[in-house]
Amino acid sequence: MDPLLLGTASAFGLAAAAGLNTTLPLLIVGLLARFGLLTLAPPFDALSGDVVLGGLVLLAGLEIVGDKVPGADSVVQLLQWPLAAAAGAILFASQTSVVSWVSPQLAILVGLLTAGAVHGARTALRPVITGATVGLGNPVQSFGEDVYAATLAGTAVLFPLLGLLLLLALAGAAVFAAYWTWRLGGRLWRRVAAVH
C-alpha cells in the first residue's frame, strides 16, 4: 500500500479522534512515540516528553470525568471546541509523511477543520441526548466517545487501513445522528405546533 495514503489515513484518523476527545489522542501518540512505536519529527517529538505526558495524563483524566456530568458536559464541550481543533491540527501535522507532500500550513488547517467538525457534531448532539434520555444517556455516550477516540487514535497510527475504516464508520454514524436529530426535532416541532 502507498505510504502516502497510509500517512494521510493516519493523519485524518488522529484529527477526528481529537474531535471526540481532545487530550486522549495526544496522550496516545505521545506514549506510542515514547515506546518507539511511532517516530515524531521535531517539534512534535515533544509529545513524548515527561512533562507533556504527565500533563496529558492529568488533562485526559479531567476531561474523561468532566464529560460524564449531564448539563456540565455540554458547557465543557462548547468551551473545549477551540482546544479540540488545535489538538487535531497538531496531530494531523505530526504525521510527517503528510507534511512532506503538502505545506505545513495546509496540514494544520486540514487537521483543525477535521477535529473542529467532529467536535462540533458531538457538541450539537449532546443536548439532544440529554433531552431524550433526561441526562441518563450522557455518561454512556461520553464513554463510547472516549473508547472510540482511543481506538481510532491507536489504529490510525498502528494499523492505518483499519483506522480508515473506523473513520468511515464515524462519518456514517455522524450522518445517521444528524438524520435522527433532524427527525426528532421535526416531531417535537409538530407537537409544539399542534398544542398551539
Indicate the SS3 state at residue 135. Answer: coil
Residue 148 amino acid letter: Y
In whole angstroms, give the CA distance from residue 105 to residue 109. Answer: 6
* CA count, 13 A, side-chain hemisphere, 57: 8
User: From first to last of its 196 residues, what are the pLDDT tens digits of the chain?
Assistant: 566 667 888 999 999 999 999 999 999 999 999 999 999 988 999 999 999 999 999 999 999 998 998 878 888 888 899 999 999 999 999 986 666 677 888 889 999 999 999 999 898 888 888 888 888 999 999 999 999 999 999 999 999 999 999 999 999 988 887 787 777 766 666 666 677 6
pLDDT at residue 174, as a whole number: 83
- Would you say the C-alpha torsion 116, 61, 181, 193 has a positive or negative sign? negative
For residues 152 and 170, is the Cβ–Cβ distance under 8 A?
yes
